[in-house]
Homo-oligomer: A and B are copies of this chain.
Amino acid sequence: MPRAGLTPERVVREAGDLADEGGLAALTLSAVAGRLGVRQPSLYKHIDSLDGLQRGVSLAAKRDLGEALTRAAVGRSGPDAVRSVAAAYRSWVLDHPGRYAATVRAPDPDDEEDREVSAEVVSVVLAVLAAFDLEGDQAIDAARALRSAIHGFVSLEAAGGFGLPRDVDRSYEFLIDSLVAGLGRA
Interface residues of A (CB under 8 A from B): 104-107, 109, 115, 118-119, 122, 137-138, 140-142, 144-145, 147-153, 155-156, 158-164, 166-167, 170-171, 174-175, 177-186
Contact = CB atoms under 8 A, between A and B. Distances in A.
Nearest to A180: B182
Given A182-B182, A185-B181, A145 B141 contact: no
Contact of A166 (B118, B140, B161, B164): B140
9 contacts: A104-B155, A104-B159, A137-B167, A144-B162, A144-B166, A149-B179, A152-B152, A152-B153, A182-B183
Q: Is chain A's binding surface mostly helix, strand, loop or mixed?
A: helix
Contacts of A178: 142, 145, 179, 182-186
A151 B140 contact: no
Contacts of A167: 137
Contact of A155 (B137, B152, B184, B186): B152
Nearest to A178: B182
Given A109-B160, A148-B149, A175-B148, A170 B119 contact: no
Contacts of A153: 144-145, 148, 152
